[in-house]
Amino acid sequence: MVERMKTQYYTATSIDGYLADEDNSLDWLFQFGAIEGMEDDQAQFIEQVGAAAMGSTTYEWMIEHENLLENPDNWPYEVPVWVFSSRELPIVDGANIHFAQGDVAPVHAEMATAADGKNIWLVGGGDLIGQFYEHALLDEIILSVAPVTLASGAPLLPRKITAPPLKLANVQQYGDVFAVLTYEVQQVSED
C-alpha cells in the first residue's frame, strides 16, 4: 500500500505546551544534547520530507542563532521552504526559500506540488500550524516532549481542538528524557 503525502507538525515542546520560553530561547531544549536513537528517527523523518513551512519568528531565530546571513552554507534544509510573514525578511543566500503571506491553503497546494509525493513538514510556530489545522490541511502532530516546564512563552498550538479529538497513533520513549507522541488529526465529518 502506498502512503499518501502527509502534512506534519513535528516539534519539541515542554510538558506544559511551550515551544520556546518567554525570551524566545531554546536553551531549555539544548541542555539535553544528542539523545540516543532520536537522531536516527529524526533523520528518517527528514528523508520523507519534500517541502517545509515556518513562520517568521522561527525563520528569524534560525538566522540569528545559526548566523545564516554570514554562513549561508549552514542552512539546514535541502527541500524548498516557505516562510510566512507579513514583513520583508532577509534571505539566506543559496537557500530555496519562498516568502508567503495570507491564506495558507493556496500555499499548501504549491508546497504539495513541490513535495512531489513526499511529506510537508510544518516546522513552527504554533499560530501558523493552527491556520493549517483550520483549513483541514494538517494530518499529524508529532511532539518530542521534554521533561521541563516553562510556565510561559511561545505556545505549542494556540487553538482549541476538542471535537473530534486528536487520535494517539504512536508513543516512543528515548532514554529517561523524551517521549515522542504522534497524533493523527481527525477531520470533522460532513454528514
Question: Has residue 187 got a pLDDT over 90?
Answer: no
Alpha carbon distance 60, 54 (integer Å) = 10
| Mean of all residue pLDDT scores within the chain | 94
| Inter-CA distances, 88 with 24, 59, 84, 115, 169, Å | 20, 12, 10, 25, 39
Question: Has residue 191 got a pLDDT over 50?
Answer: no
* Domain limits, the chain: 38-184
Give pLDDT tens digits for 122-149.
999 999 999 999 999 999 999 999 999 9
How confident is the model at residue 189, as a pLDDT? 58
Residue 141 has phi, psi (to 5 degrees) of -120, 120
Could you tell me the pTM of the whole model? 0.93
Report the top-level CATH class of 38-184: alpha beta
Quick one: 60 exposed, middle or buried, by C-beta within 10 A (0-12, 13-18, 19+)? middle
The arithmetic mean of pLDDT across residues 162-190, rounded, is: 91
Alpha carbon distance 188, 190 (integer Å) = 6
The arithmetic mean of pLDDT across residues 90-96, rounded, is: 96
Q: Where are the beta strands (DSSP E) in the chain?
A: 7-14, 18-20, 49-55, 81-84, 97-100, 119-124, 140-146, 154-155, 167-174, 178-184
Question: Has residue 2 got a pLDDT over 90?
Answer: no
In sequence order, what are the residues at sequence separation of 6 or more whose Cβ sits closer than 8 angstroms to the Cβ of residue 185? 133, 138, 139, 140, 141, 161, 166
Among 124, 121, 126, smallest CA distance to 111 is for: 121
Give pLDDT tens digits for 109-124.
999 999 999 999 999 9
Contact 120, 51 (CB under 8 A): yes
